[in-house]
Chains A and B, each alone.
Chain A
Amino acid sequence: MSRKKTEKEYEKTFACHFFRWLHGEKDLYVGQMEMRPQEVYQESKEEAEKRQRAKNILLNKIYGRKKSKSIKYLELFYRLASILFCGILIYLLLLTVSWLPPIGVADRPVNNEVSKRYIEKGLEETGAINIVSGMILDYRAFDTLGESHVLFVATVTVLIMLRLDKKHDNGTDLSIEEAEANDRNYEPKNDAILQMSAYVLVPAIILFGIYVILNGHLGPGGGFSGGAIIGAGLILYLNAFGFQKTERFFTEKTYKWISFGSLSFYCIAKSYSFYTGANHIESMIPKGTPGAILSSGLILPLNIAVGLVVACTMYAFYAMFRKGGF
Chain B
Amino acid sequence: MSVFTYLLMGFLVLCAIAVSLSKNLLNSILIYMSFSLVMSIIWVILESPDLAITEAAVGAGVTSILFFVTLKKIHAIDEKEKHKKNEQKKD
Q: How large is the interface on A (under 10, 10 to 19, 20 to 34, 35 or more residues)?
A: 20 to 34
Complex Cα spacing A132 to B43, Å: 14
Complex Cα spacing A229 to B73, Å: 24
Q: Which of B49, B65, B66, B73 has the most CB of A within 10 A?
A: B65
* A225 at the B interface (CB under 8 A): yes
* B18 at the A interface (CB under 8 A): no
| Proximity string of chain B (44-63) to chain A, C-beta cutoff 8 Å, 1 when within and 0 when not | 00001110111001100110
| Proximity string of chain A (210-230) to chain B, C-beta cutoff 8 Å, 1 when within and 0 when not | 001000000111101100110
* A231 at the B interface (CB under 8 A): yes
* B70 at the A interface (CB under 8 A): yes
Residues of A close to B54: CB separation below 8 A: 224-225, 228
* B76 at the A interface (CB under 8 A): no
Given contacts A228-B57, A228-B58, contact A222 B50 (CB under 8 A): yes
Q: How large is the interface on B (under 10, 10 to 19, 20 to 34, 35 or more residues)?
A: 10 to 19
Complex Cα spacing A130 to B70, Å: 37
* B14 at the A interface (CB under 8 A): no
Residues of B close to A181: CB separation below 8 A: 73
Given contacts A132-B50, A321-B70, contact A225 B57 (CB under 8 A): yes
Complex Cα spacing A65 to B42, Å: 49
* A263 at the B interface (CB under 8 A): no
* A317 at the B interface (CB under 8 A): yes
* A318 at the B interface (CB under 8 A): yes
Q: Mark out the residues of chain B between 55 and 91 whose CB falls within 8 Å of any chain A CB in the assembled complex.
A: 57-58, 61-62, 65-66, 69-70, 73
Residues of A close to B73: CB separation below 8 A: 181, 321
- Report the nearest B residue to A230, measured CB to CB: B57
* A235 at the B interface (CB under 8 A): yes
Find A321's partner among B57, B58, B66 (CB 8 Å cutoff): B66
Decide: A321 and B69 in contact? CB cutoff 8 A. Answer: yes
Residues of A close to B50: CB separation below 8 A: 130, 132-133, 220-222, 225
Complex Cα spacing A109 to B54, Å: 27
Residues of B close to A220: CB separation below 8 A: 49-50, 52-53
Residues of B close to A128: CB separation below 8 A: none
* A312 at the B interface (CB under 8 A): no
Residues of A close to B53: CB separation below 8 A: 212, 220-221, 225, 229
- Report the nearest A residue to B65, measured CB to CB: A235
Residues of A close to B61: CB separation below 8 A: 228-229, 232
Residues of B close to A132: CB separation below 8 A: 48, 50
Complex Cα spacing A232 to B57, Å: 8
- Pairs of residues from A and B, 3 with the lowest C-beta to C-beta distance, nearest first: A220-B49, A228-B57, A225-B53
Instruction: List 5 extra interface pairs beyond A220-B53, A222-B50, A229-B57, CB under 8 A.
Output: A225-B57, A229-B61, A232-B61, A317-B66, A322-B69
Q: 29 A-B Cβ contacts within 8 A?
A: A212-B53, A219-B49, A220-B49, A220-B52, A221-B49, A221-B50, A221-B53, A222-B50, A225-B50, A225-B53, A228-B54, A228-B57, A229-B53, A229-B57, A229-B61, A232-B61, A232-B62, A232-B65, A235-B62, A235-B65, A314-B62, A317-B62, A317-B66, A318-B62, A318-B65, A318-B66, A318-B69, A321-B66, A321-B73
Chain A residues packing against B (C-beta within 8 Å)? 130, 132-133, 181, 212, 219-222, 224-225, 228-229, 231-232, 235, 314, 317-318, 321-322
